[in-house]
Amino acid sequence: MLLMADLYNYRQALDEAAFAAHLVEEDTRTIWFEHEDIQAADEPYLLPLLGETFTSWRKDTDEQGMSANGFFVLTDLTGNVIGSAGTLGMDRLSEALAIAKRAASVATKTAGTTEDEQGMVAVPILTRSDRRPFCVLVYVTEHIASQQADTVAQLSAMHFRTCFYRRFEQLFIKDLLLYQKRTDKEASRRDALFLAAKRLYDQFDVSSVLSEMLSSLEQLYPESVAQLYLSQDHVNGDPRVKPLVFKNAAHDLVAKSFLEGKLVTELDRDGTKRLAVPMTGKQSAYGVLCLTVNATRWDDADLPAFLLLADTAGSAFENAKLYEQSNLLINELRLINELTKRLNQSLKLKEIFKFASSELLNVFKADYCCVLQLNKEKNQFVVTASNIPVMANEHFSPEYGFCGIVYRTKEPLIISDYWHTRVVSSKLMDNTGARSLIATPIMVDSEVVGVIMVAHKSANYFSYDNYKLLQVMSTHIGLAITNASLHAEVRRMVITDNLTGLHARHYLNEQIQSRQRKDPLGALILVDIDHFKQINDTYGHQVGDQILVHVSNIIRNSIRQGDIAARWGGEELAVYLPGIRSDQAYRIAERIRTHVEAETQPVVTVSCGVSEWTFENEKISVESLFYRADMALYEAKNNGRNRIYIGQAN
């Protein structure tokens, strides 16, 4: 049984091998083009091919010595001589050619071998598919018998026919290889275009789309120079991206392409070819893509790829612009929502101003922003929020600068280049070196209550859309400022602690923050009444309040007029000493501690924590100053109370 199975498998393997060999045979016949032949369309190229074949055949014939005993002539179907070979005297050459033409004519009509009485044989060369003559080979001889001459002519014709079809197949294969090369090139270009289109559509930023498009052009056409002329307002750092200017549309290649909406080409005298095609989306044309290349290196087959890339870039640019505009609208809505939320949370007026200033900087991508509020009592504008330190808390007359223009006209304004159109003097523009400005009034009940100014260092930076957007935003900011002013007014009414008469904690924080922007150094003392809860529990809260007031008076009498004392919380008090180092602050704290212990009744003591800051510190902030003082106070209380410790900087 095993033997029968093995024989069966062996037989099956033989069958499969035979079938595979058959396929190979079929493939081989296909590869060698056995069924391919010359067609009517090949006739214009037939004569050169016959001439090349005859030259090759003649070389083989000379090597075999077949032309030593005769003369060969190749003619076309009309009798024109294509080539000749062999030995024949000059006196017989013209006669032989004349006889060959006549014999060729006869052989063409009969499509068979023709013999002449003067030792000449004419053999028509037939196609291999339909046996149709396409040329005639004539053999002339005087040295061999007629029957032998016929045999030589027949064999030579067969040899020539073989040489011809070998040449024909070589040309056919050459054309196939050329076609394959072009096909591979097109496939490679399609792949490159697909990847370029994918990268373009993956971008959501306008600048990224433009950079990606120009990079793709450099990859597709490495020996060219690509430039993009935009009709849109867009700031781009790439020198290849330029504004589209209509100076002479009739002779300007770029302007003509944009206006006509089609491809425009021109050839310069130096052999440079320029192509300009509109970069168009679904809504409109956004610019013109211009390619400069050496005319000798340009192939018109590359044109469809160039046009397709321009269309793809136009769509990608349009999508990025729409995305950019939607983001702008979203930012506007987000700002309004944030302002409303801040207002409902009853935030401080200064925080509202700072928030509005930071949001305006983000929305407009600006360098500087100032929000000014009109103080009606003093009749002056006050800078309430700004990212420019020197402008903090600055005061201006309602007649001064751009805020004065906005105040008088109650209209927004836009300045494209302050350096070239200095309408008025502006401290904001002069101190920062800014050139572009948009400003708008903050209106409440048809009255100007403030001015918003947004500036940038570059000229012609702000667009008309920016100008209109700032107007819309100022309306919402005005509402926020109006309501926040009520909170600010209440906060000013409670700037001091009702019990101690000292400043409130938030005022102390603001003052320290302000001083840190102006002063080179300062110190902070935190004062805590020891065992204050025990005083309240023993003597009652009324006595505890009296002790708190008494200690506050001692602190007030122990500091300078410019120093700031505040109730930090509960029984904790704080003193900020501008321009004072920690060693001097320690002496002042010691004075307070001594007086409290000597003058209070019932007797209480205090523990103090001292910290300082200087402009040399890596981190200057109110929080870090309080943190170091609080840690020092904690150490003083843990080490027995009624003592002073100085906090060390990290």
Residue 336 has pLDDT above 80, yes or no: no
Q: What tokens appear for 312 in the block?
A: 């793809």
pLDDT computed for residue 111 by the predictor = 53
pLDDT computed for residue 39 by the predictor = 78
Residue 153 half-sphere exposure toward CB, CA atoms < 13 A = 32
Summary mean pLDDT of the chain: 80
Find the farthest-apart pair of alpha carbons in the chain and give their distance in angstroms, rounded. 161
Q: Is 646 helix (H, G, I), strand (E, B) or coil?
A: strand
Lowest mean pLDDT among 16-30, 195-209, 269-283: 16-30
**pLDDT tens per residue, range 494-523:** 677 888 889 888 889 999 999 998 899 999
Lowest mean pLDDT among 6-20, 163-177, 423-437, 513-527: 6-20
**More confident: 415 or 13:** 415
Gap between the Cα atoms of 634 and 528, Å rounded: 10
Gap between the Cα atoms of 22 and 28, Å rounded: 10
How large is the average pLDDT for residues 249-265?
80
Element (H, E) at 265: strand 264-267
Confirm if 563 and 575 have CB atoms less than 8 A apart.
yes
pLDDT computed for residue 88 by the predictor = 60
% of the chain surpassing 90 pLDDT: 25
pLDDT computed for residue 7 by the predictor = 36
pLDDT computed for residue 5 by the predictor = 41
Gap between the Cα atoms of 473 and 478, Å rounded: 9
Residue 634 has pLDDT above 90, yes or no: yes
C-beta neighbour count of 412 within 10 angstroms: 17
Q: Is 247 helix (H, G, I), strand (E, B) or coil?
A: coil
**pLDDT tens per residue, range 114-162:** 555 556 788 888 888 888 888 888 887 776 677 787 888 888 889 898 8
Q: Estimate to the nearest angstrom the gap between the alpha carbon of 643 and the chain centroid.
A: 63
Lowest mean pLDDT among 50-64, 223-237, 436-450: 223-237
Map 607-642 to HEC letters: EEEEEEEECCCCCCCHHHHHHHHHHHHHHHHHCCCC
- Rounded (to 5) percent helix, strand, coil in the chain: 55, 20, 25
Residue 635 has pLDDT above 90, yes or no: yes
| Omega before 398 within 30 of 0, i.e. cis | no
**pLDDT tens per residue, range 527-576:** 999 999 999 999 999 999 999 999 999 999 999 988 999 998 888 999 99
Residue 197 has pLDDT above 80, yes or no: no
**pLDDT tens per residue, range 281-335:** 888 788 888 888 888 777 777 777 778 777 877 788 788 778 877 887 787 677 6
pLDDT computed for residue 605 by the predictor = 95
Q: Dihedral (C-alpha) 305, 306, 307, 308: value to the nearest 10 degrees?
A: 50
Residue 205 has pLDDT above 80, yes or no: no
Gap between the Cα atoms of 275 and 256, Å rounded: 11
**pLDDT tens per residue, range 460-472:** 899 888 888 888 8
Residue 395 has pLDDT above 80, yes or no: yes
Q: Is 32 helix (H, G, I), strand (E, B) or coil?
A: coil
Q: What tokens appear for 604 in the block?
A: 């209480």
**pLDDT tens per residue, range 21-43:** 554 455 444 555 566 788 777 77
Q: What tokens appear for 73 in the block?
A: 């002539």
**More confident: 439 or 169:** 439
**Residue 545 main-chain phi, psi, to 5 deg:** -65, -40
pLDDT computed for residue 86 by the predictor = 74
Confirm if 575 and 564 have CB atoms less than 8 A apart.
yes
C-beta neighbour count of 450 within 10 angstroms: 26
pLDDT computed for residue 238 by the predictor = 74
Q: Estimate to the nearest angstrom the gap between the alpha carbon of 25 and the chain centroid.
A: 56
**pLDDT tens per residue, range 92-116:** 666 666 766 676 666 666 555 555 5
Residue written as token pair 């275009």: 193
DSSP string, 519-588: -SEEEEEEEEETTHHHHHHHH-HHHHHHHHHHHHHHHHHHS-TT-EEEEEETTEEEEEEET--HHHHHHH
What's the distance, Cα to Cα, between the start and end of the chain in Å? 94
Residue 18 has pLDDT above 60, yes or no: no
pLDDT computed for residue 489 by the predictor = 63
Q: What tokens appear for 145 in the block?
A: 């018998």
Lowest mean pLDDT among 35-39, 336-340, 473-477: 336-340
**pLDDT tens per residue, range 208-251:** 777 777 777 777 777 788 888 887 666 566 777 887 877 765 66
**More confident: 559 or 199:** 559
Q: Which range among 103-107, 336-340, 394-398 has the greatest average pLDDT?
A: 394-398
* Residue numbers annotated as active site: 571
Sheet holding 120-126, edge to edge: 81-86, 71-75, 133-140, 120-126, 114-116
